[in-house]
């Protein structure tokens, strides 16, 4: 429940899903109506529920938690480097 509330109140996650829906709607053309929005939103909901349910099942096992704790420092460090590189590319890109 805490994880669900954390994700549902995370403004970054909300903005990412909103951008996905807006991109899908803009690719549908200027004539996109509410009938086109519902399948996109439902698809996003299915993806989100599937992914996060899988995470919950996976990380509820003792062996998965043990493996994660063993590689956590390296994983966090690697992700920090990757996000840093992505941020620098965004800052230095020309639009």
DSSP 81: H
- Let me know whether 37 and 2 are in one domain: yes
Tokens for 25, please give them.
């709607």
- Let me know whether 55 and 71 are in one domain: no
Q: What is the pLDDT of residues 46-94, one digit of tens each?
A: 988 899 889 888 888 999 989 989 999 999 999 999 999 999 999 998 8
Q: Would you state the pLDDT for residue 7?
A: 74
- Let me know whether 53 and 68 are in one domain: no
Q: Does the structure show a pLDDT above 70 at 28?
A: no
- Let me know whether 29 and 3 are in one domain: yes
Q: Does the structure show a pLDDT above 70 at 32?
A: no
- Let me know whether 37 and 53 are in one domain: yes
Distances (CA, A) of 6 to 1, 12, 26, 47, 79: 8, 11, 29, 18, 20
- Let me know whether 4 and 42 are in one domain: yes
**pTM here?**
0.55
- Let me know whether 56 and 67 are in one domain: no
d(CA 11, CA 16): 9
- Least confident residue range of 24-28, 29-33, 63-67, 73-77: 29-33
- Let me know whether 52 and 93 are in one domain: no
Q: Which residue range is the domain that position 78 belongs to?
A: 62-95
């Amino acid at each position: 429940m805490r994880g669900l509330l954390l994700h549902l109140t995370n403004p970054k996650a909300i903005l990412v899903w909103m951008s996905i829906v807006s991109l899908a709607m803009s690719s549908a053309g200027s004539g996109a109506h509410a009938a086109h929005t519902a399948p996109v939103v439902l698809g996003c909901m299915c993806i989100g529920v599937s992914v996060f349910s899988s995470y919950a099942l996976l990380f509820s096992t003792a062996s998965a938690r043990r493996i994660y704790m063993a590689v956590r420092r390296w994983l966090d460090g690697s992700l920090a480097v990757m996000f840093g590189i992505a941020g620098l590319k965004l800052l230095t890109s020309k639009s």
